[in-house]
């Protein structure tokens, strides 16, 4: 494993992933107890995820509000590092009173490899899918939208 360490609300730098996984989006909805985690080696962020408490029943959600967030990781990050990151985040949140974690990943069409890695990570760690939304994706090309 590389020399990655868990950074908690440190905002080391722009990490991988979409707008919904970046610090600016997190700050819009974080409240006082939201946590933005980065798996960083020096100033290089290999993975990130944010969770915010969602109610008084021990539920923490990624994202607190919005379409999706979940785990984002650099394509070069080794699987063992992604698993270590998840375990460190989960341990930290459990210590904060989290009883249940809910992750809303990006649709598979956005990045099939990243989606597969996140699904594998969560399923391997015992998470279950509680809902499945139909996603409509269109390839942007030279055709008109009506076509």
Q: Predicted confidence band at 19 (pLDDT cuts at 50, 70, 90)?
A: low
Whether the predicted pLDDT of 1 surpasses 60: no
**Residue 88 scores a pLDDT above 90:** yes
Alpha-carbon gap, residue 127 to 138, rounded angstroms: 30
Checking if the pLDDT of 33 tops 70, the result is yes
User: pLDDT value at position 42?
Assistant: 84
pLDDT digits (tens, 9 = 90+) for 42-63: 888 999 998 999 988 999 999 8
- Looking at every residue in the chain, the average pLDDT score rounds to 86
Residue found by looking up tokens 């939201």 in the block:
34
- Give the residue-averaged pLDDT of 19-48: 83
Is 7:34 a contact under the CB 8 Å cutoff?
no
pLDDT over threshold 90, residue 25: no
pLDDT band at 90 (very low <50, low <70, confident <90, very high): very high
Give 41's strand partners.
44
What confidence score (pLDDT) does residue 113 get? 87
Q: Do 38 and 12 form a contact (C-beta atoms < 8 A)? A: yes
Task: Summarize pLDDT for 92-142 with one digit per residue, the tens.
Answer: 999 999 999 999 888 887 788 888 888 999 999 998 887 777 667 777 889
- Distance of alpha carbon 112 from alpha carbon 92, whole angstroms: 28
- Token reading at 35: 């946590």
């Amino acid at each position: 494993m590389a020399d990655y360490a868990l950074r908690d609300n440190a905002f080391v730098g722009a990490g991988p992933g979409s707008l919904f996984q970046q610090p600016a989006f997190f700050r819009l909805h974080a409240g006082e107890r939201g946590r933005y985690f980065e798996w960083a080696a020096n100033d290089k962020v290999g993975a990130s995820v944010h969770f915010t408490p969602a109610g008084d029943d021990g539920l923490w959600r990624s994202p607190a509000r919005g379409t999706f967030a979940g785990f984002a990781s650099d394509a070069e990050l080794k699987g063992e590092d992604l698993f270590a990151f998840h375990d460190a985040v989960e341990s930290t949140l459990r210590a904060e009173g989290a009883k249940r974690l809910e992750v809303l990943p990006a649709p598979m069409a956005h990045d099939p490899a990243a989606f597969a890695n996140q699904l594998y990570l969560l399923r391997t760690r015992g998470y279950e899918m509680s809902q499945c939304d139909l996603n409509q994706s269109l390839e942007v090309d030279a055709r008109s939208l009506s076509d």
